[in-house]
Amino acid sequence: MASIPPMGVLLTALRLVRRHPWLMAKVNATWSLYPLISSPELAKELLFPNEMPVAQVELFWQQMQDESYRCFAEMLGLGLPKPEKVNTPLLILGGGADTLISPDQVKATARAYGTQAIILPNIAHDMMLEPGWQTVADAIVSWLRTNSSDCSEF
């Protein structure tokens, strides 16, 4: 679900630098990703669909915490995955309205793992929290039914 591409998040970081240069400077100066979500407006821009009501965004925003800067640095290129070592079937889901991990990045991830991406239109980055979460859940259940030999409980 909106996974970090195997090539890392450098393209995402560059897009953020272009859109929010001062925030990204603060992220790097403080070794904290929190400046990117330091207000409900920023959280909405980066994580949620435009249609999400402000009151709903604020409820989620009040529970948000910082993320690991070290992990971010590793995702820039220091600790990238090795897709060629993975032979398990994978579901690669992305949101058509995701401003952090673009649909093209999701498709690149799918290609790296030898599968097809499922891009859900009008879904943003935090797809499990949005009004369209049922579409996301349905896509997961559908994939499980098709790709699992023991999905009788689904």
Class of domain 10-147: alpha beta
Q: Measure the CA–CA gap between 135 and 149, rounded to whole angstroms.
A: 23
Position 151 confidence tier, pLDDT thresholds 50, 70, 90 = low
The string of pLDDT tens digits covering residues 1-24 is: 988 899 999 999 999 999 999 999
Residue range 83-101: mean pLDDT, rounded? 93
Gyration radius of the chain over CA positions: 16
* Type and span of the H or E element at 134: helix 133-147
pLDDT at 153 over 80: no
Q: How far is CA 103 from the centre of its chain?
A: 10
Which pTM was predicted?
A: 0.88
Burial string for 93-119 (b: 16+ CB within 10 Å, else e) reads bbbebbbbbbbebbbbbbebbeeebbb
